Structure 1
Amino acid sequence: MGMMDKAKGALNSDKGEQLSDKGLDKGEQFADQKTGGNHDAQIDKGRDFADDRIGRPGDGS
């Protein structure tokens, strides 16, 4: 298996999904802090969009 196939497999695993969700949650919190919560809806939408592109779609928080 190539390196990209291994990476995709890791992200599609349960542990990979949990790690990607954790990273996206941290990024969302960071963005909320930096904007003072003024763009909460847009940040949530961006987090959900990224989650659908990483790992298994629809499994995010």
Structure 2
Amino acid sequence: MGIFDSAKDKASDFAEQNPDKLDQGVEKAGDFADDRTGGEHADKIDKGQDFANEKLDGLGGGQ
């Protein structure tokens, strides 16, 4: 097992045990990006958040 396999396993375990923290992290990152761009790219940031949440659902995270 390589280092990346180990990291992926740890990330998957974390996602399964802490889906609420992943949701909060995606939301916080999106809010930060929206703030830094002055809301200029809010629609694209929202799409990115939705995409990230969909992918996290596959890891056991997201709601």
For the superposition of Structure 1 and Structure 2, which TM-score range results when normalised by the shorter chain?
A: 0.7 to 0.9
Instruction: Give the number of equivalent residue pairs.
Output: 56
CA distances 1:6-61 after superposition (whole Å, capped 9, x unpaired): 43133023xx11000011111011000011001111000001101111244761xx
Structure with the higher helix share, 1 or 2: 2
Cα RMSD (Å): 2.0
* 8 Å CA contact retained: 2:16, 2:60: yes
**SS of equivalent to 1:37:** coil
5+ residue gaps in structure 1? none
Gaps of 5+ in 2: none
Q: Does 1:5 pair with 2:14?
A: no
Q: State which of 14, 21, 24 in structure 2 corresponds to 1:22.
A: 24
Could you list the structure 1 runs, at least 4 aligned residues long, displaced by more than 6 angstroms after superposition.
Answer: none
TM-score by length of 1: 0.72
Q: After the TM superposition, which of the residue ranges 17-26 and 50-59 deviates more from structure 2?
A: 50-59
